[in-house]
Amino acid sequence: MSTELTWKTIALRLALTVAAGVLVGVNRSERGHVAGLRTTLLVAVAASVAMLQVNLLLPLSGKAAGSFVTMDLMRLPLGVLSGMGFIGAGSILRRGSAIVGVTTAATMWVMTVIGLCFGGGQLALGATATAIAIITLWGMKYVDLAIPRDHQATLVVVAAGYEGLSERIQAALAPAKLDATYAGGTYDVAGRSEVHYVVRWRGAPMERQPSAVLTGLSEIPGIASVRWNVECRE
């Protein structure tokens, strides 16, 4: 970290920070995330400016003779990281059984660190971190989607009767390679039943309302309605 800052050096560090913020921010914006280009760029620039201010204050941090004050300059970047935690926590939301915004929070965190690197003069480290962030957000997304995962959903079937119902449901789900486990149900004296199943499968995530599966279940004689709810397990 250089203690001698010129306007040329400051401009170079800020330019690299802006470039990193734009490259990563475009990825966030084109995928419709709330923390998009402007938010990502502002986070990176704020962190970079904080480290530039640390550099500018370094000549004042020594303890002069007779002085009782010593400046702890690292409190400034550490405070930036702590403040970043509030933005990251605010971007994580729970929608029903799904948790969204974790990647956005992680992006804000890494952009803060990248900004601190550029602002502090660690240009090679900041450029390397930017490259890793871009590869992770653009390239690794497809690798992540290709990894087989265990998924789970809740299936609720309302039928006119319950004799042989489980066997008929299992037979309807078998072609889609779905395994249904009985999880409970209610029955009335008229023979009407509402049965709950936990459906599990391994592979790609299934849409929240898989039309082919629901159509096959609804065509089973005696079934009045079918409800399907995918559960997020991340």
The pLDDT value recorded for residue 234 is 40
Q: What is the DSSP string of 150-198?
A: EEEEEEEEEES--TTHHHHHHHHHGGGT-EEEEEEEEE-TTS-EEEEEE
Fold of 149-231: Alpha-Beta Plaits (3.30.70)
C-alpha 9: how far from chain center: 35
Output the tens digit of pLDDT for each of the chain's 234 residues.
Answer: 455 678 888 899 999 999 998 888 888 777 776 667 877 888 888 888 888 878 877 765 555 545 545 556 667 777 777 777 777 677 666 665 555 677 788 888 888 889 988 988 889 988 999 998 888 888 877 776 676 777 788 888 888 776 777 777 777 787 777 888 888 888 776 777 888 888 887 776 665 556 677 777 777 777 878 887 775 544
Q: Whole-model pTM above 0.85? A: no
Which sequence spans correspond to the domains of the chain?
7-146, 149-231
Quick one: CA torsion of 132, 110, 149, 31, rounded to 10 degrees? Answer: -90
The pLDDT value recorded for residue 12 is 92
Question: How wide is the angle at C-alpha 163 spanned by C-alphas 162 and 167, nearest 5°?
Answer: 95
Q: Is 109 strand, coil or helix?
A: helix
